[in-house]
Structures are given as C-alpha cells and as structure tokens.
C-alpha cells in the first residue's frame, strides 16, 4: 500500500473523538519508553492481578475443551448466574431470566449493543455529566444525539429529577446512568435512584444503567437500578467482571433486560463479534458462582482502594484551595484544576503541565465534558499514589 495514501473517514465515524483516557495512557507509555519516570494515574484499570481461583477455573475450562464458539448470547450457566445475581435482592414479580441476559466482549460492547439497538436518528439521550467519555460517542455512533445534563458539583455532580426534566424534550428516548460514577466516584442513594427511575418510567424513557463499579463502594453498598426501578420494563442494566474482579483483559460484560430487547441485541451481536471469548466466559462464571472466594477477593481489593482513597484525599486536603470531590465508590478522584473558570480548558492545561513537569499522568475533564476538572485514578500502588498527590499539590501551588 502506498504510504500516506488518502483516506477519508466515512460519515459513520467522521465526528468520532479519540478516547482521551486511552490517549493519556499512550502518552504516558511513550514518555516511559523514552526513559522518563512516570506515575500513571490515567488508566481506569485495577492494578491487582485476577484472583487465582478464577485463573485456575479458566485453565480447567481450556483443558476441558472450552475452545469453540458458544451461543451468541453466552453460555447458559453464566447467563443463569447473572440472572440469579440480578434477582438476589428483588422482591417484585418481574424476575430476570437467562433469556434477558446477553453476554458480550466487555461491558463496553454491551453498552454499544444497547445504544445501537435502541437509539437512532432524531432520538435524544440524556447523559448526566460528567460521564464516561464513551457514552457520548456511542450515542453519536447510533446517530442519535447525546444531551449532556451537567450535575451540581456541590452534590458530587449528581443530577436531580428537576435537571433531567429541564433537559428533556419530546424527542428524549433514553437516559444513561452510572453509579458509582466514572469519573466522579459519586454514588446515587436508593431514594435518588428511585426518583430518577420513576421519572424515566413515567416519561417512557429507556434507562441504560451502567453498574460496572457497583461492587466498588465504600462505607455502604451501592444500589442497583434493578432494585429501585418501579418497573423493569424499559431498563437495561450493564455490568461485567472488569473492575470488581480485576479482569479487564478477559473482556466479559453483560446486559440484563427484557427477553425481547435481549433477542434484538443478540441478533445485532451475531453480525459483529458473535460470542464473547469462550474461556473468558468460564472465568466469569467462576467469579460469579464461587461466592466465598469471590467475596473475599473483592473485599480485599475494595479495602485497599479505600485506604488509597483516604491517603490521597489527606494529601490533597493539605492545600485548601484544591476542590476535590469525596468519592463513595469507583477508584477515581475528581478535582477542579487551577485556572478553572478563567481559561478555556483548564483541566487539559493542568494535566499537560503535570505530565511534562512532574511526571504524573491524569485525565483532563474535557474527556467527560467538564473541562475545568481533572480525573485521578487511584487504582495504583499506594506509595505511588501518595507521591503523585504530593507532586500534584506542588504543581497546583505553582499554578494558582
């Protein structure tokens, strides 16, 4: 092929923005490769290894021949285990069944399946903001319009019913929810969640509830939309093994919804990727069914995340001018960059300064549609997190 030959992206991807989180990670890796000592707090990936019992289950599955295609929507025992988990705290009559579960290649694919199957040209989708960078792009790839609804920073950027009502139009078709949230770490209380889900139910909106951080919560357990929705009728709950079980590379996520929508998403997936990797499905099955081992592994990781969160917050709070949200879940700190409100993209300027001058990689808030802010991941070694926070405080003081 001719180097540099012309390529014009199709209309499908012409508006696509590069994933800022992945861009930061790549820049940090490039600097490391060039010999710089970099503390990378950009990635949203647990630094822990996948628990041993899960790896053993996967090795056994390979030996037993789990090397072929499976059903497009996943192996039945895994879909049954996901349904059983979804019904654990549910007292209503609309129980989830395996027919309402679709297993995919990471929760990212589950979200994409749901957006592409439900939304199209002319539809608007409310996105409480800041939100994970890919929501906006996935809605756009479905040729629908993402409508950012910026929450109140004094409430951890959580949105209220009134804010959603104000942003809604007759074209509103859906709402993205994410609790605990990436990037803020905020967690919606059961009452807050119920109020929002009731509004969505009354308006006939589809709710896509991304619960990938559900098990990573501090103090109190986080609540699933499955347990607070007045009806499970227009609800898609998305989850996966990546974050809670330190299984990012295994690429298993799933959607839980009505059998009708599950069938439509399965048909869509049958033309894109077919089933998620067979051995990974068996690994996920172990994570969901070997409860004692799984609970012990999750508790131990969450306890370590909590320690790091507390240590990082303690250092940041030595500088009273730093406005940092106190997160109740996930593994991110969201803080206001120096120069916020006075420059166009204060978060990007601060992130660039911190990477170049202090060797710390973080993500600019523009990736989450709040350019005055930056996101710090504390899914990294505690001593490194603490050192990075000391450098961040020093850089902040230099710039204010």
* CA–CA distance, 214 with 222 (Å, rounded to integer): 6
Pick one of 50, 178, 223, 304: the residue that binds ligand PLP (CB under 6 A): 178
Shortest spacing between CB 344 and ligand PLP, in angstroms: 26
Regarding beta strands 172-178 and 124-129, do their DSSP bridges make them parallel or antiparallel, or are they unpaired? parallel
To which H or E segment does residue 398 belong? helix 382-399
Evaluate whether 217 touches 179 at the Cβ level (below 8 Å): no
Q: Least distance to ligand PLP from the beta carbon of 224, Å?
A: 15
- How far is Cα 270 from Cα 82, in angstroms, rounded to an integer? 20
Q: Which tokens is 38 given?
A: 């970099």
Binding mask 24-53 for ligand PLP (x = CB under 6 A): --------------------x---------
Give the nearest distance from C-beta 146 to ligand PLP in angstroms. Answer: 15
Tokens of 143: 């040729």
Tell me which H or E stretch contains 114.
helix 107-118
Closest CA to 399 of 333, 334, 342, 325: 342
Residue 389 structure tokens: 């926070």
Q: Nearest 5 degrees, angle CA 60-CA 61-CA 66?
A: 150
Binding-residue total with ligand PLP (CB under 6 A): 13
Identify the residue among 125, 168, 242, 297 touching ligand PLP (CB under 6 A).
Answer: 242
- Minimum distance, C-beta of residue 250 to ligand PLP, in the bound complex (Å): 9
Contacts within 8 Å (CB) and 24+ apart, 19-23: 19/133, 19/134, 19/137, 19/367, 20/133, 20/363, 20/364, 20/366, 20/367, 21/133, 21/363, 21/367
212 part of the interface to ligand PLP, by CB under 6 A: yes
Calculate the CA 336 to chain-centre distance: 21
Which one among 73, 210, 227, 328 touches ligand PLP, defined by CB under 6 A? 210
Stretch of residues binding ligand PLP (CB under 6 A), selected from 101-109, 115-123, 318-326, 391-399? 101-109
Residue 74 as a binder of ligand PLP (CB under 6 A): the answer is no
Region of 91-99, 102-110, 143-151, 377-385 interacting with ligand PLP (CB under 6 A): 102-110
Query: Is 184 near ligand PLP (CB under 6 A)?
Result: no
- Contacts of ligand PLP in 329-388 (CB under 6 A): none
Query: Shortest approach of ligand PLP to residue 42 CB, angstroms?
Result: 11
Q: Shortest distance, CB of residue 142 to ligand PLP, whole angstroms?
A: 16
Taking CB under 6 A as the criterion, the residue among 119, 132, 206, 350 binding ligand PLP is 132
Among 25, 70, 107, 223, indicate the residue that binds ligand PLP (CB under 6 A). 107
**Segment contacting ligand PLP by CB under 6 A, of 27-35, 103-111, 226-234, 354-362:** 103-111
- CA dist 297 and 387 (Å) reads 26
Residues 6+ apart with CB under 8 A from 298: 215, 244, 245
Judged by beta carbon, residue 131 or residue 315, the one nearer ligand PLP is: 131
Residue with tokens 């070997």: 290
For residue 387, CA distances in Å to 182, 308, 376 come to 23, 12, 13
248 binds ligand PLP (CB under 6 A): yes
Q: What are phi and psi of 300, to 5 degrees?
A: -65, -40
Return d(Cα 366, Cα 136) in angstroms, integer.
12
Please tell me whether residue 266 binds ligand PLP under the rule CB under 6 A. no
Residue nearest to ligand PLP (CB): 106
> Which DSSP symbol is given to 10?
-
Least separation in angstroms between residue 15's CB and ligand PLP is 21
* Measured distance CA(21)–CA(362) in Å, rounded: 9
Pair of tokens at residue 285: 């099955």
Of the residues 50, 117, 179, 182, which one makes contact with ligand PLP according to CB under 6 A: 182
Q: Identify which of residues 118 and 349 has a Cβ nearer to ligand PLP in the complex.
A: 118
- Return the residue of 74, 106, 327, 347 that touches ligand PLP, per CB under 6 A: 106
Residue 240 as a binder of ligand PLP (CB under 6 A): the answer is: yes
Q: Does 253 bind ligand PLP (CB under 6 A)?
A: yes
Residues of the shown chain interacting with ligand PLP in the complex, contacts defined by CB under 6 A:
44, 106-108, 132, 178, 182, 210, 212, 240, 242, 248, 253
């Amino acid at each position: 092929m001719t180097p540099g030959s012309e390529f014009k992206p199709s209309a499908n991807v012409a508006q696509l923005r590069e994933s800022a989180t992945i861009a930061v990670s790549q820049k940090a890796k490039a600097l490391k490769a060039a010999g710089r000592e970099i503390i990378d707090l950009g990635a949203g990936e647990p630094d822990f290894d996948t628990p041993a019992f899960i790896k053993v289950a996967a090795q056994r599955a390979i030996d037993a021949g789990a090397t072929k295609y499976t059903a497009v929507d996943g192996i039945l025992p895994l879909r049954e285990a996901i349904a059983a988990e979804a019904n654990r705290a549910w007292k209503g009559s609309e129980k989830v069944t395996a027919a309402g579960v679709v297993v995919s290649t990471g929760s990212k694919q589950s979200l994409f399946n749901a957006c592409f199957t439900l939304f199209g040209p002319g539809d608007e989708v409310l996105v409480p903001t800041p939100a994970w960078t890919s929501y906006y792009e996935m809605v756009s790839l479905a040729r629908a319009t993402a409508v950012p609804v910026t929450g109140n920073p004094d409430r951890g950027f959580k949105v209220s019913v009134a804010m959603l009502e104000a942003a809604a139009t007759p074209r509103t078709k859906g709402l993205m929810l994410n609790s605990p949230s990436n990037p803020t770490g905020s967690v919606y209380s059961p009452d807050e969640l119920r109020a929002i889900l009731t509004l969505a139910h009354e308006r006939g909106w589809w709710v896509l509830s991304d619960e990938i951080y559900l098990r990573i919560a501090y103090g109190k357990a986080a609540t699933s939309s499955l347990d607070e929705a007045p009806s499970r009728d227009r609800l898609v709950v998305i989850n996966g093994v990546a974050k809670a079980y330190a299984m990012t590379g295994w690429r298993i996520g799933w959607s839980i919804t009505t059998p009708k929508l599950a069938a439509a998403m399965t048909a869509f997936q049958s033309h894109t990727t077919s089933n998620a990797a067979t051995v990974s499905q068996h690994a996920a099955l172990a994570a969901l069914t070997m409860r004692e081992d799984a609970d012990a592994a999750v508790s131990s990781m969450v306890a370590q995340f909590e320690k790091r969160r507390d240590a990082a917050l303690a250092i940041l709070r030595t500088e009273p001018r730093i406005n940092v949200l106190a997160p109740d879940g996930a593994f991110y700190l969201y803080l206001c960059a120096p120069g916020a409100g006075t420059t166009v993209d204060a978060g990007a300027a601060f992130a660039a300064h911190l990477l170049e001058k202090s060797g710390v990689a973080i993500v600019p808030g523009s990736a989450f549609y709040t350019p005055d802010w930056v996101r710090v991941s504390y899914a990294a070694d505690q001593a490194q997190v603490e050192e990075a926070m000391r450098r961040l405080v020093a850089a902040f003081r230099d710039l204010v």
